[in-house]
Homo-oligomer: A and B are copies of this chain.
Amino acid sequence: VILVNGTASEYIPALDRGVAYGDGVFRTLLLDKGRPRAWGEHYAKLLGDCAALGITCPHQSSLQTDISNLAREEPNSGIKIIVTRGIGERGYAPVVGANACRIALSFPVPDVYKKYAAEGITARVCELRVGFQPRLAGVKHLNRLENVMARREWTDRSIVEGLLLDGTGNVIGGTMSNVFIVERSVLVTPDLRQCGVAGVTRERVLRHARVRGIDCTITSISLQRLLGADELFVTNSLMGACQVRILGEKSWAAGNMTHTVRRWLDDEDR
């Protein structure tokens, strides 16, 4: 089922600025027994991302109604929410008073994600270098061609994720995830003020770490530094925290910290 502005529909207007310019934002989250995980944080992020682009965010109640309607069909699934600036005249200038368009849909979460979380994954380093754009950095917007182009670099199905570096060689994240490294029990995650997407699960991990007194650093991480870390894990709302066990020629044993982080998330979600 796909809901467009609350109504079941498989279509959106061809003149929507979402398709014309990628002028919108999105969320991906997990529906667990009909309940959207970390909903408060997802809605807060959606609000912030809409504000960054100057898009009027749909009311929380509209989205909650959409999610309830999707949950009735598929109580255990993934949910994707897209908010675009809506229909616009031709030209880049946003139309004043344009009505945002919201799309909500559910999709089956691949079974293999549980295996990824339990056993860890194999990743690679992408050749594409993410461009700097502080005006859009952190926002999960619909301009995702960099991710598409990076994801096109490999077809080997044993490789689950590709790490993205910026132009100066620092690690920014994965094509569909945020990245953490562990250095002597300290969590370190990339600074995303110049580029990258600051995901909700990343925020949750940072919050848990603070509450539990685990040191956390947000800073630049070179590939060399990452390769020397005790653990490497990636996060997103569908997989939670997922250890990278193999990255090119480097491999890591199963790590305690990733396991701990996953437990923080699972305990909160229970």
- Which chain A residues have a beta carbon within 8 Å of chain B's beta carbons? 2, 4, 9-24, 26, 53-54, 78, 80, 82, 84, 90-94, 103, 105, 107, 128, 130-133, 135-136, 141-152, 167, 175-176, 195
A19 to B16, Cβ gap below 8 A?
Answer: yes
* 17 additional A-B residue pairs with CB within 8 Å, beyond A19-B82, A22-B22, A135-B149: A2-B14, A10-B15, A14-B105, A16-B19, A18-B18, A19-B19, A19-B22, A19-B142, A21-B142, A53-B149, A78-B90, A91-B151, A92-B147, A94-B152, A131-B131, A135-B146, A136-B149
**SS class, residues of chain A in contact with chain B:** mixed
B14 to A14, Cβ gap below 8 A?
Answer: no
Q: Which 6 A-B pairs have the closest CB atoms?
A: A22-B22, A131-B131, A11-B11, A143-B143, A92-B151, A21-B144
**A20 CB contacts on chain B under 8 angstroms:** 26, 82, 142, 144
**A13 CB contacts on chain B under 8 angstroms:** 10-12
A22 to B142, Cβ gap below 8 A?
Answer: yes
**A82 CB contacts on chain B under 8 angstroms:** 19-20
